[in-house]
C-alpha cells in the first residue's frame, strides 16, 4: 500500500542536494512551486522566521541544516562547538515550536560519539514512516461520506488520510478555513486536497459556527505545533474557538499531534507574537488605514478537555 501512495509536495517539502538545502517556498503557493536555497545555517533560520516553510517542513529543515553544517565542517575538533552554535540559533527562531527537542537530540548524539550524519538520516526515515502511520491511524477514525472541517495546514497529511480512506472504500470530503492572516487553509490545504483529487470547500474563519449549525460537517481534524504533557495543544490561532464550538455542537475534535514537548500544561507554552504588519499588509497590499495598530498571536492553546482524541506521531530517536 505504501508504495502506491501519492504524496503532496507539502508532505516532505525540503531537499538536501550536496551542500545546499532546497526549501519549497510555501508563501508562494498555490500560484508558484519554487524552491529557495539555504547554504548556511543563518539562511535556514531566516527561512524558518519568515515562514517560507512551516510545521514538519521546519522540523526537516532543522535536521538537514545540521547535516549541511557537518558536511561543510572541515575542522573536526571544533565540530561540537559549531553544532552548539547552530542549535542556539535554531532554538531562538520561533518560541512556540519545540525545536529544542530536535537540537538536544542531535547534540546528544554528538556527545555520545555515534555516527552523527547517519543518525540524523535514520531519524528522518523514521519520521517519514511515522507520518505515514499517523495518517493511516487517523483514517481509521473516518467513515464513508464524512465531512471534515480543518484549520490551517498539516503538511501533506490530510490528502494522505483521504487516500487511506479511499483505499478502504470510504469517500471523505473537507471544509477548509481560510486561516487568516497567512491563508494556509485556502492557499495550502485546499490546494493539496484538490491536487490529490479530493473535495474541498473553503470558508472564512468566522463561518465555523454557522457551518456547524447547518450540519454541514460531522468531524474536525487539526494539527498541533506543540503538545504539552497533560494533552493541551498549541496550534494556529483560531483552533481554540473551533474546539469550543465543536464541543457545543457535539462534533468530534481530533488532533494530529507533534511529539510531547517539555511543557507541563498549555500555560507553559510560550505564544509567538508575530509582527503586526502581517495583519496590516498582504503581498504588498495595505489592508488597513495608515498608522493602524494590530496584534497577532500566531497560536492559541486548546485545553485537552476539548479534544476527543489525540492522534500521536510515534517517533523514537
Active-site choice (146, 225, 232, 300): 225
Q: Note if 104 is an active site residue.
A: no
Cell numbers 503586526: residue? 276
Catalytic annotation, residues: 225
Amino acid at each position: 500500500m505504501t508504495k502506491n501512495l501519492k504524496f503532496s509536495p507539502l508532505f516532505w517539502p525540503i531537499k538536501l542536494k550536496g551542500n545546499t538545502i532546497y526549501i519549497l517556498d510555501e508563501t508562494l503557493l498555490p500560484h508558484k512551486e519554487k524552491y529557495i536555497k539555504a547554504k548556511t545555517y543563518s539562511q535556514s533560520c531566516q527561512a524558518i522566521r519568515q515562514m517560507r516553510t512551516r510545521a514538519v517542513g521546519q522540523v526537516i529543515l532543522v535536521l538537514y541544516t545540521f547535516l549541511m553544517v557537518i558536511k561543510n565542517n572541515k575542522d573536526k575538533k571544533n565540530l561540537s562547538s559549531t553544532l552548539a552554535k547552530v542549535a542556539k540559533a535554531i532554538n531562538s527562531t520561533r518560541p512556540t515550536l519545540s525545536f529544542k527537542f530536535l537540537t538536544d537530540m542531535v547534540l546528544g548524539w554528538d556527545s555520545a560519539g555515534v555516527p552523527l550524519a547517519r543518525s540524523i538520516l535514520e531519524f528522518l526515515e523514521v519520521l517519514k514512516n511515522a507520518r505515514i502511520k499517523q495518517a493511516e491511524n487517523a483514517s481509521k477514525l473516518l467513515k464513508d461520506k464524512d465531512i471534515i472541517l480543518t484549520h490551517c495546514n498539516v503538511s501533506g497529511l490530510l490528502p494522505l488520510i483521504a487516500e487511506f480512506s479511499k483505499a478502504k472504500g470510504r469517500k471523505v470530503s473537507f471544509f477548509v478555513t481560510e486561516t487568516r492572516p497567512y491563508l494556509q487553509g485556502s492557499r495550502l490545504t485546499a490546494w493539496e486536497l484538490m491536487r490529490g483529487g479530493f473535495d474541498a470547500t473553503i470558508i472564512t474563519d468566522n463561518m465555523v459556527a454557522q457551518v456547524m449549525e447547518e450540519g454541514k460537517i460531522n468531524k474536525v481534524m487539526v494539527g498541533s505545533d506543540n503538545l504539552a504533557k497533560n494533552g493541551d495543544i498549541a496550534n494556529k490561532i483560531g483552533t481554540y474557538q473551533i474546539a469550543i464550538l465543536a464541543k457545543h455542537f457535539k462534533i468530534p475534535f481530533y488532533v494530529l499531534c507533534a511529539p510531547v514537548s517539555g511543557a507541563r500544561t498549555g500555560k507553559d507554552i510560550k505564544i509567538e507574537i508575530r509582527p503586526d504588519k502581517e495583519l496590516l499588509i498582504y503581498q504588498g497590499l495595505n489592508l488597513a488605514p495608515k498608522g493602524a495598530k494590530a496584534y497577532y498571536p500566531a497560536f492559541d492553546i486548546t485545553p485537552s478537555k476539548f479534544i476527543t482524541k489525540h492522534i500521536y506521531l510515534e517517533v523514537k530517536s
